[in-house]
Structure formats: C-alpha cells, structure tokens
Structure 1
Amino acid sequence: MKIIALALLASTLSGFILSHHMGGQGIWAWVRAFCEAATVGALADWFAVVALFKHPLGIPFPHTAIIPRKKDNLGQSLAAFVRDHFLDPQQLLDRLKALDPAMRVGQWLSQPEQAQRLSRWTRQSLLPALDLLDERAVKAALLDALRSRLANWNMAGTAHEVLSLLTKDGRHQVLLDESLRQLGGYLDSSDVKSRIANMMTRHAEREWPKLLKMVDVVKSVDEISAKLSERLAAALVTELQDVLQEPDHPLRRDYEKWVGEYIERLGSDPDLIHQIDNIKQQILEHQHVQAYLDSVWRDIMQLLKDDLSSEQSTISQHLETLFQGLGKRLQADDALRDALNQHLLESAASMAGSLRIGVTEHITRTVRNWDEKHLVRELELSVGSDLQYIRFSGTLVGGVIGLLLHALVLWWTAFSG
C-alpha cells in the first residue's frame, strides 16, 4: 500500500513537471493545476500519516511521533475504557441478573450428553491428580503433614468439647436408658441365664469340689445353679427397671457425677491430658499403625485409579447422575435457583471490584513496557492500509481542488476582463 501511494505521488509529480515543460497552456494548464495540488495533498497527508508513528524523514518536528510519545497515555486510556465499559460492577450485575445463570447452568446440566461430558472430563482430570498424589515425595509430605496435625491435636480438649455437647440437657441419660434396656434384655435371655449357671457350676467345682459333691447328693448342683442364675438375672433386671423408672435413682446420680467429673478433668486435669497425649503419640509412632496407614493409602489410591481408568467408571456414573440431577433440580426449584443466583451476583460484585483495579493496572503496565518500535510496527500493520487510503484520498482530493481553483481563477480573469 505504501508503494502504491508512493507511485501515485510520483505520477502527480511527473505530471506537474511535464505540464511545466509543455508550457503550461491550454489543456496542460489544467494538468498542471491538478498535479500541483495533488502533489501538495499527497505530501501533506503523507506527513500527517507518518507523524502518527514516527518523525517524518527522521526530523523531530513538533507534534510528530504521536503514538510512541503518547504510549503511556494510550495505555491509561485503554485501561480506563476497559474498566468503565467492560468491568463496571453495576453493568456486570445487571447483565448477570438478566442472564439468570443458575437456570442456564441447570438447562445445560440436565442434558444427558452434557452431564456425561462433564463427568468424563472430571474423571480424566482426576487421574493425573491421583498420579501426582501417589508420587513418593508428595505422599510422604501429605502423610507427614497429617501426622504433624494429629501430633499437635489437643485430643483431650476436643473430647471435652464433644462430650460437653453430647451431655448437654441430659442427653447422656438417654444413652444410659438405652444401655440399661439393652442390658436388661440381654440378662433376661435364656441363653445368658444358662451361661451364667454353667459359669457358677464351674467356679464351684474349682473352688469347693468336696462341698459340691456333698451338696450334689442332696440336690443337683446344676439345678441349684440354674435357680441361682434365674434369681440373679431377675434381681438385676428388677434393679435395672428401678433405675429406668426413677429419675433420681442413686445409680443415675453416680453416673451423672462420674460423667461430669470426667468431662471436667478432660478440660482441666494436666495429668489426664498428658496421659491421653502420650497414648496418642504412642499410637502415631507405632510401626504397625504407620504400616497400616500406608497400606490403606495404597489400597484407596489403587481402587480409585482402577475405577477412574475404566470407561464404565462407577465414580463417573455417579457424577453423571449427580450433575444431571442437579440440573433438573435447578430448573424446578425456584428457591435454590434464586439462592445460587444471589451467591453468584455477590461473588461477581466482589470480583468486579478487584478485577477493575487489577486489570486496569495490568493494561497500563503492559502498554508502558511495550517496545516503542514493536508497538509502532504492530499498529502500522493493523491500521496502516487504511491510513494509506488517506494518502490516496489526499492526492485525489488535492487534485480536484486544484482543478476547481484553476477554474475559479479563469472565471475570475474572464469576469474581470
């Protein structure tokens, strides 16, 4: 395009020289008027176009090389334009609100092929992540971090808080009641009574063999043991029923006192806290525990890898069902959709403020760091062809104006004469 513009300038300049050489009369006067003005127009527009990017002929004329000189201002203006027209928080929120992103996500997820595609992408993304986690160094770091967190864990304090919550409003009494019911049913079982009788008989045979032989002459020892176990079980069941029916039973008071004192000790007794911490440390440092953790890790990782490597992955199928169900739920549940949209709008509002600052600074800094020659070259390649058309237009418009001026001069001469 530069060559064409230069050729056009050369042709007008040649016409101007030729018209002068031919005397500049008659038709040549019109040629001279056209070529003279066209040459001036071409040169003026050449100067204007070049002045945007560099100094014409390398001469630092005032107000030339505008783009390199105003590069920083250009970056700031571009950054402000993006900030004000693309990252205005209110505009973004208004567009997001009208878009109803939750409904669009629901419509997209509810399509089986989309849910399948997303689950397949998730499965394919998880496999490299598992390979990374299974690297020896990464695995060792994760296990060390886990052991470190467990080692620093205040186990007694946590137990104190959990048990305090579980015993709030007498909840532990409900646990005692259920335990007593289960124990009563257990003791009232014929199998249990039979085992108790056999245990009593074996103990008597071991401790008082001679006395047992004398008693057996009068009455069967097995029969005596069965009756004793029956009575013992009945007595225990009766006692348990009394405990269940009496809110202020001594056993309940003892149980309440013991639980309360133990919970209090978990939070304040240094000896008990130290004892629990020592047990925890011994468990963590035991070689069998470490070997067990390592084997569990290997089994879990291998199980996950085998499943995710299969095209019929169970995890992938569950994910597909989950995504599709979520999509249908988003379409049907107005409250869920409104809640999700609200969260998205709040997140977008928060992000927009950060983006406005970050993107504005990034654009300004990037343009400032651009190489001037590279910037000029890129802009010339982008808009240079259109700028050359300005030179074409200047040449032609200048020539036409030259003809008009020449015609005006002839008319004025004729009118004056």
Structure 2
Amino acid sequence: MFPGRRGIGAMVLSAVLFGAGCAEPAPEPPPEPVRPQWQRLALPAPAGTPGRPMLRDVTGCAGRWYAVGGVGGAGGETRPAAWTSTDGVTWAAMRLEPKGYYGRRSVLYSAACRDGRVAILGDKPGGAHGNPRASSWRQLPDGSLVEVEARFELYGGPTAVNVARLVAGPRGYLIAGNRSSGVASWVSADAGEFEIMEGVPELVTDGRGTTWGFDAVATAQGWLMVGGILPPGGRIDRDPLGWTSPDGRTWQRDPVPATEAYEELQRVVVLAGTPVAVGLRGKEFGVWRRGPQGWESAGAFGTHGSAGAPAVGALAVTGDGLLAAVSDGTSYSLWSGADEGRAWRPVTGPVPMPAGADRDVSVFAVADQVLLAVDDGREAALWSSRLIPGT
C-alpha cells in the first residue's frame, strides 16, 4: 500500500516539533499472539505400500471430518489417501477405488463436504509436458471413495491452465479454476459428473483485462467466486475482482474497490452471512468484506517479501471469528481474525511450517474446534486445538 504525500504544512509542523525536542509517537506494539494448546492426532497408515503420509486439505460437515492427501514413496511415487473421523480426534483411513493410471498416482488436494459426504479433487503431473492430470472423487454410500471417470478435456486438453478449488453448498458442488480463455467453473449436483463452464461471458478474459479465479463459496443467492483481473495497458499487477452466479453456469462481475497496489482475492468464506475474503494487497495480506452495498476493505495483517510466492493457503470460520494460514514465500503463519475480519492477531503453531514445493498448510474449524494439517515436505501431521471464538 503506497502512502500518500504529506502536505507542506505537515512537514513544517513536523520540523517545529522536532526542533522543540518532541519525539515521534512510538509505534503501537504488535498484538499478543493467540497460543492454542495443540494436540497431535494419530493418522493410521492406509492399506498398501508403506510410505510417508502427505496432507493437503481438511474439511467436514454433518458431524464428520475428512483429511485428504496421499502417500509418498521412493522415487517420487505417490498414491491417493484420505482419512475420516466422527469427533476430530480418532481417525480411520478410507478405502479408495482409483480408476485410471493417474488416479492411482494422484495426491488429493481439495475437499468439500455436504450432507455428510465428501467430494475431492486430486492430480498427478504427467504426460509429455508434465502438466497436472486432475480428477475428481466422490463418496459412495458405503463410505469409500471412487474416482470419477471423465474425458481428458474436462480438466485437461489444449486450453487447460489449472483446477483450483472444490466447494460445496445447497446447490451441489462447484470447482473454481482457469482456462486459457480466463476463469472457468465446473458444476455438479452430486459430484458424480462435472460440467465445465468455459468461455462464459463475464468470466472470460476480454478487453477489460485478463481474469484469474482462486476460490469460491456458497451463498444464500448461489455462488460467489473470487480472484483478480490484470487490466490492459502494460500493467503488471492485478486488481481484485469477484463474480456471482445463481447456478454456477451464468455469472456476473462483482466489482471490488482497488488501490494502486497489487491486489487479488485468494480465499473466501461466509462469516455470519457475510462473505469475507483474504488475499494479497501490496506487501500485506488484505481483507475484504462484501456487505449490502458491495465489497469494502476491512484492513490488512502480516507482511511478505520477495522470497518465493506469497499466498493465502487456507481460510476458515471458527465460531464468530476467522483463522487464516498465509505464506510469506518462505514459511506459513497462522492468524486469528475478530470483529468480522477487521482485527487480527498471530497464532502460534505447533511446529515450524515451511513453504514451498510439496509443503502445505490447511485449516478447518467447527465452532471453536480447529484442525490444522501441516506437511513440511518430509513429514505430515494433523493437529487439533480449540480457539476462543472471536479472538
């Protein structure tokens, strides 16, 4: 965020105060961290060849929790894995039924839950160019997970860019992602078969700029997707942007006030009926709220530098507050948001949380019970704690 210029009068006043021996006001001390009592949870080894567990996402609904990822073996070999729990403490490995070559080697990275059942995205790099080969998974009545067979072009093909996030709501499931034409969505009523919305007006890149989508959430009106747009004219920084849809098929742009800084919305949740998004704003992590009059800035927290790519790894609602996992490009940190996202405090984690390839942090909460998945590239662990809502 770029500070505005001070007027000449302010400069003169500052000089007078300095000459009179008046010191500049001391900066406010940083907020006291929230210090949860983290408890490490045991994840049983899935059936099959032993290897190190890999964790990528956690979710839950209707009294059941899910953690998803994979198992890593020698020579970069991987296979999908998932665990479930009815209390967030005792976990059981789920039975998986992959269908294809890449499905058997996938790492599951995004999970969404409705009516007590989970749907999942997974991928594995492959092919001549090493692009991720994405697939979706659905849960059967017996509790097992089965890979959904789909034509290659549904997630891949010549216009593929990425398949980002899977979310669930009363209308079914929606995937937010991107194609060479701009933002895309995939929709399904039951996760049994997804249909791609590609090149859709308002989502598509056009004369107004190049669009990019990161995340989505179900709302009372349908779906809300968030991301950014790179305006034409030689600029190199994005402006924040949202999109709304009643059904995931037709979309309208949802303008977000922008500053001169690089800005984009990377994660979004609904807190007490109000969408709240967290993303990048210059060298900070910005917060936006979508009230009755549209989007408004709700402040910022933390800082990040130029080492690596900063990102919002996860955002969860915990009671009447928020919990965010963000990366400054080198390591992840946790932050607790209160006052509808306007006030933030750092949260101590149970272990160091480095960022980078094959390193992930995810959070999910029900009321004040929080699950934290940490994968540092060598070891993955699931942790549980309780945060006081609104801290």
TM-score between the two structures when normalised by the length of structure 1? 0.14
Higher relative contact order (CA 8 A, sep 6+): 1
Which structure features the higher share of helix residues?
A: 1
Which structure features the higher share of strand residues?
A: 2
